[in-house]
Amino acid sequence: MAKYTSIGGQALIEGIMMKSPEKTAMAVRMPNGEIDVTKSKTKSIKQKYKILGIPIVRGVVGFIESMTEGYKAMMTSAEKSGFTDLEEDGKEQTEKDKKKANIFISIAMVIGSVLGVALAVALFMFLPWVCVKGIEKLFEITLSNIAKSAIEQFIKLSVFVLYMFAISFMKDIKRVFMYHGAEHKTIFCYEKGLELTVENVRLQKRFHPRCGTSFMILMILISIVFSTIAQILLDGVYDNALFWILIKIALIPIICGVGYEVLKFCGRYDNIITKIISAPGLWMQRISTKEPDDDMIEIAIAALRACEPETPDVNRDIDKKEIEETEKGTENDDI
């Protein structure tokens, strides 16, 4: 039976980042076909300030840290995989040209992030409010607080699903989604205590309850509760678009923290309650994950092995065989 592990991952450009409480590892497929693996000690501000590790708060801190670390890892993987290299007249660019290209791409990503935030506010906060107000005006009715919240979250969910579905057809994004699938399959294989081989990993499911996609869906669903409470406590605030948007922005850390705890709970237990809670996120992973090829699975295995804790949090008796073979002189290092 599969057991919970604290190891998590993120799909990158031609690579995967895996993270455990002790180590963080990134494996990237280089242009020459080799696997580049870099490891570092997992550091979190929660280790320095214990108060940041309490429930709810730890979810907010973890979300910010994962976003920051994930962005840096994505940029690094793009550079190592050769994704940022430009070609002109069939010739490779000089190192100077490559650096210029990387700087340009970095600036473009920063600008894109700023525009992305603005677009997110428009699509996920202002648009739902306009739709609710439009429904009330069109049908000359006054919706209840919970109805307003439910309609808003339904619109958010629809926009999110359509966006993910649309970008899944892009060639580069599709490959990232395939690496996403490899990450999930490898973690499942690890949790089951099976030997980390391409064959074993290939047989696993690609839908995992602790996925970041599930987290996003959970945040949208949990928003119904907190949006309703905000309307009850602040009567009439919904009529002012600006104030309502500011309140929803202020609620994000709380919703994020609660979503983290719920996701953690679902990843640790397997029962009817957790299955119901996880169902929307697992369904969404049919879009955000794709079946990987064997080369991608190799990347995921390399990343997981590189970040595995000194004392695994699941039964890894199968690894004792590899250790014995290594001591006999057999090379078993995929990295």
C-alpha–C-alpha distance, residues 242 and 244, integer Å: 5
Evaluate whether 248 touches 125 at the Cβ level (below 8 Å).
Answer: yes
> What integer is the mean pLDDT of 239-267?
90
C-alpha–C-alpha distance, residues 306 and 36, integer Å: 11
pLDDT averaged over the chain?
Answer: 84
Using DSSP, state whether 196 is helix, strand or coil. Answer: coil
Evaluate whether 24 touches 17 at the Cβ level (below 8 Å).
Answer: yes
DSSP string, 274-312: HHHHHHHHHHHHHHH--PPPHHHHHHHHHHHHHH--SS-
Read off the tokens for 54.
């309490």
Look-up of token digits 């996701």? 263
pLDDT recorded at residue 48: 84
Alpha helices in 81-209 (DSSP H): 95-121, 127-139, 145-167, 171-191, 198-202
C-alpha–C-alpha distance, residues 248 and 276, integer Å: 26
For residue 144, give Cα distances in angstroms to 157, 249, 319, 322.
20, 22, 57, 62
Amino acid letter, 216: M
Using DSSP, state whether 29 is helix, strand or coil. Answer: strand
pLDDT recorded at residue 229: 94
pLDDT recorded at residue 333: 40
pLDDT recorded at residue 269: 80
Cβ neighbour number for residue 133 with a 10 Å cutoff: 15
User: Are β-strands 91-92 and 15-19 bridged in parallel, bridged antiparallel, or unpaired?
Assistant: unpaired
pLDDT recorded at residue 289: 95
Cβ neighbour number for residue 166 with a 10 Å cutoff: 11
Cβ neighbour number for residue 254 with a 10 Å cutoff: 14
C-alpha–C-alpha distance, residues 321 and 335, integer Å: 18
pLDDT recorded at residue 46: 85
6 DSSP assignment: S
> What integer is the mean pLDDT of 273-294?
91
pLDDT recorded at residue 82: 83
Evaluate whether 94 touches 294 at the Cβ level (below 8 Å).
Answer: no
Q: Give the lowest-confidence range in 18-32, 79-93, 202-216, 222-236.
A: 79-93
